[in-house]
Structure 1
Amino acid sequence: MAAEMKAELIGQAALTDLQLTVPRRPALRRGVRLRRSGDSVVLDGADRMQAFSGEFAREWLVPLAEACDGTRDHAALADGLGLPESAVHTCLALLWTAGAVEEATPDEEPPVAPELACFLSRLGNSTGVNATWADAAARLARRPVALEGDPALVGAARRALRGVCPVVTGDTDPAGGGHPTEHPAEHPATDPPKDPATDPAEHPPAFTVFFETVASAPLLADAEKACRRDGRPLLRVRADAATIVVGPYVDPAITPCLECGRHGEAELAGEPAAHQLDLVAGVAAHHITAVLARATVTHLPIDSSVIDTATLATSYRPATTRPGCPECSHARGPVAPEAPASAVYEAAVAIPPRAFLDPKGHQAHYYTANIRLQSQFRQWPSRVRTPLPAADLSALAGPGHRGGTPLTPHHLGLVLKIAFGLKDDETTPERVKRWTAASGNIGCTTAYVVVRDASVLPPGVYAYAEGSHTLASVSRTVPPGDSPCDIVVTGDLKKVMSKYGTFGFRLALLDSGCALTSARHVARHLGLDFAPRTDWDDDALTRILDVSPTEEPVVAVASLGGTA
């Protein structure tokens, strides 16, 4: 599905959101162009093809892009085109987000091949890390890459990286000083000036890449030991007759150790064929360049990629610390035979370390479809509705009650309103306001209420509809329990994963914790007993709620009412 973004929204957001950047002296990225196509303006050559619609786009985007030569600021562009400066800022915010413009390069450009400059500029938008392609080129020029392991793959990788970055194929300083012997012909003749703010070291430590095959595998342990001793990151690239594995990336400061990262791998299945060497080297060079230049996307350092050389099908394996590992685990005791499923999931969806975070991903918050999610509420149209009393916020003022307060419909409505509901006076069709923090302001949890006390409501199971502050009858079957009321929280994975993917399950768990925390504070202030449950019967609850455990799993349960 195409992602839509409105110029007015991204232009306004760029004024306050520090993760959105508008070039001060914009230049059209190398290798891209804007052209009219029917009623739209199309962007060719960027990291993805995009189209701009609307009268202003048709009339002004192409002239504005042509005027972006890196010599004019916003005021000069506005004056030359006869446009308000605010309109120029809005358009440039949209063009930067789309990958059409970047900051002008310095007066003295890095001495790199035109093809590399075009590559770094044209695809630099894919991560949003570098303001200009020259920044990416400087990152490559000041970080040597040490190639070790299988000689044939080392040679192929050296050819693939020629002219891209300094390459080292001999031993580094055994004392760990980080002074590798470089191959001058294989990197730019003149390095750009170093940036003391980001790289004060005159000789930064080499980034070591080890090519593991059947023949070179015995040398990997010594290479890993040397990298750990010298504080150098290590990227293992594994190749046999059937697969290419890029990873794990090992840096003791931010990743699991090598043994944990590669735990569970199959044995090497023979040596790679001669015709596979350039493929292995090319794949490795792509990710080496992505890690160092930060201009293109890579799965490193979080995952390892496993590529089938026959079909090129790719799967990903997160590096996960095994409990008890003496190198990277804080747990004591023997090393676990394998990492638990929960740890594997957490590793798979983990946010990258700050140094590897791509600001580009932040722009997803401003896609029209993602903004629309916040005002999409479940309806249960065929269910009987029970209106809840209006939330009396004055009950939360003053000192709280000590306990023993009987549960009433007013209390239940107030707890649900604060934990899962909306601020009615502040919510608009464009912006939903909630009482409790919610990931992405989406509202990815659903509260079901199990009522056993007939003085509160007719016994049964109800779904809380936050958009209307009503309860929808779900079932008259009441699961066993000893509290007047239970709150069962499920994760709306279909909704949250449309924006966040598999990370959405983690957000559902986080949101349920926020909701129950708010519910606990309200309940205790009202003098109601509130007790989160640590165990429940998933199968029984999903049957009663008539939900799918894969699309709407139960993520939290708590008891409400009675006395402590």
Structure 2
Amino acid sequence: MVAEMKAEQIGRAARTDMQLTVPVRPVLRRGVRLRRAGDSVVLDGADRGQAFSGAFAREGLVPLAEACDGTRDHAALANELGLDESAVYKCLALLWTAGVIEEAVTGEEPRVEPELAVFLSRLGNSTGANPSWADAAARLARRPVRLEGDPSLVAAARRALRGVCRMVTDPAGPAEAPDELTVFFETASSAPLLAAAGERCERDGRPLLRVRADGGTVVVGPYVDPSITPCLDCGRHGEAEPSGEPPEHLHDLVAGLASHHVTALVARATSTHLPIDSSVIDLATLATTYLPAVTRPGCPKCSWTRGPVAPDAPAGAVYEASVAIPPRAFLAPKDHQAHYYATNLRLQSQFKDWPSRAHTPLPVPDLSVLAGTERHDPSRGGVPLTLPALALVLKIAFGIKDDETTPERVKRWTAAAGNIGCTTAYVVLRDERVTRPGVYAYAEGSHTLVAVSDTVPPGDSPCDIVVTGDLKKVMTKYGTFGFRLVFLDSGCGLASAREVARHLGLRFAPTSDWDDDALARVLGSSPADEPVVAVAALGGTA
């Protein structure tokens, strides 16, 4: 899938979004180049292919990149090229997000091999955590890495990391720094030594990366830090028994895989699945499976609960761990740029419409009834549900602000993850005084009720609100993390609906249990694509 980003959009965002930065004295990253290719300008050498289109890209982008030599700030670049400074800023923001430029090195450059400097600079765009390659090199020089475990793999890793970072190979020696990283290579023969290494790191509060290799696989992880991750026992719980020693001809491959992730952890210049997941790599096919580290309830080292240790972590905990945001120290600022891809921005204005079904216009919400600070006094009894009241509840909880919404940005009344709107509200109406009984969908874009079914499921309230998650829409941007977001959005929607209902004097009662299959049949939805995530009763007596 092509990810499109516009200079105008990312330049405007960089002015206000603190997670986006633009180099003050930009310099072209080492190992990359821009070149004309037909009507486009192509970026070679970066971590992913990029193409720039448009009139300015064809005529001005290459000269701008060539002028980025680290000696000029934005004003000087604008003066040099005869451009407006604001236009230069927008273009630099786009070039930074694409991995073309970085901040110029201040002071003396680190003394490292040219190949390492190019590696850190060219692929440093993978996280955007370092202003320049020199910052990544400084991280490597500052933080020691202790190699322990299988002697052959330790020797191979020492060769791979020579000249890259500070290495300690004496397992019995004291830590050289509080943040020293221990890498333990576990094989069938070195496995008995792992427990002692883990206890030593736990006692000293230092992180440990376990790398396990056998006859058929290599497992990179878990990464164990007592302050942010589950313990070593929970992190490797449920692993298959090792199948012999790793073949000698694969020692360099195992060490190379480990060295890549060690460099990524320390320098933050390349991508890694750590510290959240472990990766299980098949040494014959290189097929990779990612497994999250999950605390087992009752674990005496990393669980808050007390009692016997659970044999396995609950499925919900495994899912939460698999989609967890990395700890602050390991956040990848570049991941935040996904919010500004054109395809993701367009999601916010993509509304379900049900064009072949009958639409019933809802009354224009009277927002003035919410302006006062006085709420309905419950002691006076409940207020009957009316169509205007239902329209107001739906508008505030799930609708958009028509007067403030533009083609570029949708404004909603209630918080929504990524401003996407990944929930759909259905209305089950039983009271004919409100409108014709039936099951309706709320079309947020047109503020209408869409007829879904004339079959009304049994219930005691005049109206039920059923909230479903639009997984196809939200997972376009967020992947499996989107499943979690639909629950967060539904919670926000119900909270807003409750506040409006209480203000109006309407009964509002969330439902704690429901029949998913029965509701799916009534709504004509698929639980796999559109699961029911919340149900609440609206109106009636308490």
Cα contact 1:142–1:204 (8 A) shared by 2: no
The Cα of 1:155 is off from its aligned counterpart by: 0.7
Secondary structure class of the residue paired with 1:43:
strand
2:433 matched residue in structure 1: 455
Secondary structure class of the residue paired with 2:209:
strand
Q: Residue type of the partner of 1:318?
A: P
Secondary structure class of the residue paired with 1:23:
coil
Identify which of 389, 411, 415 aligns with 2:393.
415
1:400 matched residue in structure 2: 375
1:234 matched residue in structure 2: 208
2:287 matched residue in structure 1: 313
Cα contact 2:178–2:206 (8 A) shared by 1: no
1:61 to 2:61 alignment: yes
1:273 to 2:247 alignment: yes
Secondary structure class of the residue paired with 2:135:
helix
Cα contact 2:144–2:165 (8 A) shared by 1: yes
1:261 to 2:211 alignment: no
The Cα of 1:231 is off from its aligned counterpart by: 1.1
Cα contact 2:511–2:535 (8 A) shared by 1: yes
- Counterparts of 1:317-466 in structure 2, within 5 Å, are 317-398=291-372, 399-403=374-378, 404-466=382-444
Deviation larger for 492-501 or 68-77: 68-77
Deviations 1:92-151 (A, max 9, x none): 111111110000012311010000000000011110100000000000011111011111
The Cα of 1:459 is off from its aligned counterpart by: 1.5
Secondary structure class of the residue paired with 1:501:
helix
Cα contact 2:147–2:171 (8 A) shared by 1: no
Separation in structure 2 between the aligned mates of residue 543 and residue 261 of structure 1, nearest angstrom: 41
Cα contact 1:419–1:516 (8 A) shared by 2: yes
- In the alignment of these two chains, the number of paired residues is 538
Q: Residue type of the partner of 2:46?
A: A
The Cα of 1:172 is off from its aligned counterpart by: 4.7
Q: Residue type of the partner of 2:215?
A: A
The Cα of 1:563 is off from its aligned counterpart by: 2.0
2:20 matched residue in structure 1: 20
1:43 matched residue in structure 2: 43
CA-based RMSD: 0.9
Secondary structure class of the residue paired with 1:499:
helix
The Cα of 1:19 is off from its aligned counterpart by: 1.1
Separation in structure 2 between the aligned mates of residue 89 and residue 394 of structure 1, nearest angstrom: 43
Secondary structure class of the residue paired with 1:435:
coil
2:480 matched residue in structure 1: 502
Separation in structure 1 between the aligned mates of residue 11 and residue 226 of structure 2, nearest angstrom: 40
1:529 to 2:503 alignment: no
- Counterparts of 1:217-228 in structure 2, within 5 Å, are 217-228=191-202
1:546 matched residue in structure 2: 524
Gaps of 5+ in 2: none
Separation in structure 2 between the aligned mates of residue 397 and residue 69 of structure 1, nearest angstrom: 57
Q: Normalising to structure 2: TM-score of the pair?
A: 0.98
1:95 matched residue in structure 2: 95
Secondary structure class of the residue paired with 1:375:
coil
2:461 matched residue in structure 1: 483
Separation in structure 1 between the aligned mates of residue 78 and residue 493 of structure 2, nearest angstrom: 48
Separation in structure 1 between the aligned mates of residue 338 and residue 24 of structure 2, nearest angstrom: 23
Separation in structure 2 between the aligned mates of residue 143 and residue 172 of structure 1, nearest angstrom: 18
Cα contact 1:143–1:204 (8 A) shared by 2: no
Separation in structure 2 between the aligned mates of residue 60 and residue 503 of structure 1, nearest angstrom: 39
Deviations 1:23-46 (A, max 9, x none): 111100000000001001111101
- Counterparts of 1:154-233 in structure 2, within 5 Å, are 154-174=154-174, 178-179=175-176, 203-233=177-207
Separation in structure 1 between the aligned mates of residue 77 and residue 364 of structure 2, nearest angstrom: 54
Separation in structure 2 between the aligned mates of residue 400 and residue 88 of structure 1, nearest angstrom: 53
The Cα of 1:89 is off from its aligned counterpart by: 1.1
Separation in structure 2 between the aligned mates of residue 124 and residue 204 of structure 1, nearest angstrom: 26
Separation in structure 2 between the aligned mates of residue 368 and residue 29 of structure 1, nearest angstrom: 25
Secondary structure class of the residue paired with 1:41:
strand
2:271 matched residue in structure 1: 297
Cα contact 1:322–1:329 (8 A) shared by 2: yes
Deviations 1:353-402 (A, max 9, x none): 00000000110111111110000000111111111111111121321212
Cα contact 2:35–2:62 (8 A) shared by 1: yes
Gaps of 5+ in 1: 180-202
Cα contact 1:491–1:555 (8 A) shared by 2: yes
Q: Residue type of the partner of 2:145?
A: V
Q: Residue type of the partner of 1:264?
A: G
2:470 matched residue in structure 1: 492
Q: Residue type of the partner of 1:413?
A: A
2:29 matched residue in structure 1: 29
The Cα of 1:336 is off from its aligned counterpart by: 0.8
The Cα of 1:492 is off from its aligned counterpart by: 0.3
1:153 to 2:153 alignment: yes
The Cα of 1:204 is off from its aligned counterpart by: 4.0
Cα contact 1:512–1:556 (8 A) shared by 2: yes
Secondary structure class of the residue paired with 1:69:
coil
1:470 to 2:448 alignment: yes
Separation in structure 1 between the aligned mates of residue 526 and residue 187 of structure 2, nearest angstrom: 45
The Cα of 1:65 is off from its aligned counterpart by: 0.7
Separation in structure 1 between the aligned mates of residue 162 and residue 538 of structure 2, nearest angstrom: 67
Secondary structure class of the residue paired with 2:535:
strand
Cα contact 2:26–2:104 (8 A) shared by 1: yes
2:81 matched residue in structure 1: 81
Q: Residue type of the partner of 2:282?
A: D
Deviations 1:54-93 (A, max 9, x none): 1111111101111111111111111111111111111111
Cα contact 1:256–1:319 (8 A) shared by 2: yes
Q: Residue type of the partner of 1:225?
A: E
Identify which of 276, 285, 293 aligns with 2:259.
285
Deviation larger for 370-379 or 471-480: 471-480
Separation in structure 2 between the aligned mates of residue 243 and residue 47 of structure 1, nearest angstrom: 27
Secondary structure class of the residue paired with 2:197:
helix
Separation in structure 1 between the aligned mates of residue 453 and residue 308 of structure 2, nearest angstrom: 48
